[in-house]
Amino acid sequence: MRQLTVLVFFLTFLFCSNRPVSSMSRQAITGSDYGEVWLATYLAGMKIGYGVLKYNRSNGGLNFDYVTRMTVGMLGKKQTVTARSRVFTDENLALQSFEFRMSSQDGSFTAHGRCEDSRLVVETGNGTRVIHLTRKLYPIEALGIIVTRSHSEPGTRLNYLTFDGAVLDTMGTEVEVLGREMFKIGETTVPALKIKVRRAKFDMTVWLDENGMTLKEDSPMGISSSRVSSEQALAGEAGYPLDLLRIFAVRVDTIIPEGRRWRRMVLTVSGIDTTLLPASDENQRIVTIEGGDIRMEIKIPLPDSTVKLPVGTCRELLKPTVTIQSTAPEIVRTARQIVNGTDNAAVAVQKIADWVFRSLQKEAVASLPNAVDVLKNMKGDCNEHAVLFAALSRAVGIPAKVAVGLVYLRDGFYYHAWNEVYLGKWVPVDATFGEFPASAARLKLAEGELSEQAQVLGVVSRIKIRVLEFE
């Protein structure tokens, strides 16, 4: 059940230090105390990778060891990303501790954590995050077993709090039991439990065997995983890697002239309901709803040029996070050098946006972006530009957040990340394109940390956009 989650939460960026190698083909083995399952992953009908999940009983609970590898294209660059996660549960399959490691040609990332006293403590090389828990937390790797053991009848809806190392956060997960059916694997037919899982506004249909292990995962986005032998899983990917950005693009029939920073745009959005959109704010609001059409206006305000540093409001968005390390010495030092003593907040934002735009090499990077690493490597795509800009801004007293959604480029709307800064009002900034204020040719779908950002792809798979006005 985790293989599609990995691809959806970050378009594949994960690591394992040891790629599994087998001298002979192995078939799946599943039981109450031990199991091994291999999955092949497909996108738009092409094989892009594999995953293998092993589990065994230890100290009354289960230990899960999950390895995945995927190869895709991003901005014309081939990206091969591998990951390894290990989780340890108690006898009720609640999370006790986890280890996570990811790497690609762009670098590596590690994290580990543990549950203690109704808290999840997450440790990374960039700091510690404490998540307070209000109910029992389960690893996503154990969800299939938990649902199977519940013996729920068709039509039952179950709700769990789950954790996934790919986003280093907890998420509410809803499971609907659809029923039981016979499922064919090669020449064999086995009984299966069919369920629907929703996490982060993303739906997937999953077939589980009698022990709760995945037989198949399917999603409306054209992503699927199927149980195979180890030989089939390791056979390699098919052809040149698919370009993820183009696959998930939202095409429109209106050509918007480039080279201008549009201040206002009106769109009709369909295919989703308003619960999948962020609340209206000063930059983006819902105008009308007629049937399935949502009419939206994006209007970009001019920054208040009288606001001084430090900005004395929105203090939560001045604090450091695991990915936006605004108090790190190198971040603070660089930010002060960039603003060069100005006390005008708008001038400081312009200087930081210009510096990030000019300094970072524009390159697709398969990683979990964090500001300190971006400052060290000086390259990245929109995600890297956004976290670095946010950290530099917060370091000099400017409240800043990361927004994600869709931006218009040439022939349609594409996934993108940018920033918003508070200068008496929230003003969008796009350091990737060197825009302050940013153009209105964008649609915000989420804001915040990785878990919030991950929700965007579930929306992109369904959304349709029609451009009505731009000026």
For 134, other C-beta atoms within 10 Å of its C-beta total 8
Q: Is the pLDDT of residue 18 over 50?
A: no
Categorize the per-residue pLDDT at 2 as very low, low, confident or very high, splitting at 50, 70 and 90: low
The mean pLDDT value for 7-31 works out to 44
Say yes or no: 202 and 274 in one domain: no
d(CA 128, CA 44): 38
Q: Which residue, among 158, 165, 214, has the nearest Cα to 185 in the 3D structure?
A: 214
- Residue 250 backbone dihedrals phi, psi, to 5 degrees: -105, 105
| DSSP secondary structure of 162-200 | EEETTTTEEEEEEEEEEEEEEEEETTEEEEEEEEEEEET
d(CA 168, CA 276): 22
Say yes or no: 357 and 466 in one domain: yes
Say yes or no: 399 and 295 in one domain: yes
Say yes or no: 237 and 275 in one domain: no
At 117, list the tokens: 């006293």
Q: Which of 66-75, 277-286, 363-372, 452-461 has the highest mean pLDDT?
A: 277-286
For 278, other C-beta atoms within 10 Å of its C-beta total 17
| 383 is a domain residue | yes
Tens digit of each residue's pLDDT (9 = 90 or more) over 53-91: 999 998 889 999 999 888 877 666 777 888 899 999 999
Say yes or no: 68 and 112 in one domain: yes
Categorize the per-residue pLDDT at 30 as very low, low, confident or very high, splitting at 50, 70 and 90: low
Give the domain CATH number at 407.
Answer: 3.10.620.30
- Are the C-beta atoms of residues 204 and 219 closer than 8 Å to each other? yes
| Structural domain harbouring 365 | 264-470
| 187, 211, 242 - which closes a domain | 242
Confidence (pTM): 0.78
Say yes or no: 161 and 96 in one domain: yes
Tens digit of each residue's pLDDT (9 = 90 or more) over 253-264: 888 887 678 999
**Per-residue pLDDT, 78:** 77
Number of separate domains in the chain: 2
| 247 is a domain residue | no
Categorize the per-residue pLDDT at 134 as very low, low, confident or very high, splitting at 50, 70 and 90: very high
Q: Is the pLDDT of residue 20 over 80?
A: no
**Per-residue pLDDT, 26:** 54
Categorize the per-residue pLDDT at 10 as very low, low, confident or very high, splitting at 50, 70 and 90: very low
